[in-house]
Amino acid sequence: MTFLDTSTIIQYLKGDERVREYIDGREPWWTSTLCAFEVVQGRLGSGTTDVEAVRQDFAGVQTLDLNESIALEAGRLQDKLLSDGERLATADILIAATARSTGDELVVADSDFETDVLDDYMQITNLRE
């Protein structure tokens, strides 16, 4: 299984060849419900957006719900980051904790997860060019 960050899903939908080559064939794909919201949110603004249709654009990506166990893991990870002088945005630390709960590789396409602390606790692959 492969856990996809919002940035990876967006780049995949845009046809980014590097992202497509890396994740195609690594199904099933998982993501956080937070990532699903972030992808949908990126398409909002008309007042009439069909959010179900937007979600169908990446229907092959299964979502995992946020739960108390993941929230506590996010707290542990953020505590380690803070003790190292770093901090992740709330959504990003919850996404990282969700990925960590699966034991799968977190595939990203931006710099949001570039910390030594997270690298010590989970496998993160950054496809950002």
Encode pLDDT of 63-113 as tens digits: 999 999 999 999 999 999 999 999 999 999 999 999 999 998 999 999 999
- Are 126 and 5 a contacting pair, CB within 8 Å? no
Q: Provide the pLDDT for residue 124.
A: 96
Residue 63: predicted pLDDT: 97
Domains of the chain: 2-126 (3.40.50.1010)
Q: Give the predicted TM-score (pTM) of the model.
A: 0.94
Amino acid present at 51: V
Token digits of residue 50 = 């069909």
The b/e string for 5-35 (b: 16+ C-beta within 10 A; e otherwise) is bbbbbbbbeeebeebeebbeeeeebbbbebb
Q: What are phi and psi of 43, to 5 degrees?
A: -105, 0
Q: In this model, does residue 5 exceed pLDDT 90?
A: yes
Residue of 77, 70, 71, 79 lying closest to 124 (CA atoms):
77
In this predicted model, what pLDDT tens digit does every residue of 10-26 receive, in sequence order?
A: 999 999 999 999 999 99
